[in-house]
Amino acid sequence: MKYRGSCHCQAVQFEVECPDTVEVEDCNCSICSKAGFLHLIVPLSQFTLLRGADKLTTYSFNSHVAKHTFCRICGIKPFYTPRSNPDGIDINVRCLDEKPANIRIVRFDGQNWEQHAHALAHKSQASQKPD
């Protein structure tokens, strides 16, 4: 299935391909818990930025591997490059216009990221691509 999404002001729009049943992470780290980000990590090949590349700005901290992209107009972070899967893309499910029919939310202990990151490492592999 293909799902469209955007930031709040619609300046940044994208499309992501994923199954109708997905598992997403609700992370308790300092940035995700404040932003309310629900993580859907997919291979980069399943993501298309439709418009707004010129409206994105990037924030990076700690290891600087993760690239947190925000709309410079409304401040919403609809997707970013995750540290756990730097070859993939992490979509905020809350920014999808229509949600997958079956979403399983799994708690992720991002406050202790180093101890738990291995649980996410496979998410951007092509084998996760929908049928």
The answer to whether position 120 is within a domain reads no
Q: Greater confidence, 16 or 120? A: 16
Please report the pLDDT score of residue 126 as a whole number. 59
Least confident of 24-28, 30-34, 111-115, 125-129: 125-129
Q: What residues contact 75, with CB distance under 8 A and at least 6 apart?
A: 8
The answer to whether position 60 is within a domain reads yes
Residue 41, token pair as written in the block = 């990590």
The answer to whether position 109 is within a domain reads yes
Indicate whether 53 pLDDT > 80. Answer: yes
The answer to whether position 125 is within a domain reads no
The answer to whether position 91 is within a domain reads yes
pLDDT band at 129 (very low <50, low <70, confident <90, very high): very low
The answer to whether position 124 is within a domain reads no
Mean pLDDT of 102-119: 78
Q: Is residue 9 a contact partner of residue 71, using CB atoms and an 8 Å limit?
A: yes
Domain count, the chain: 1
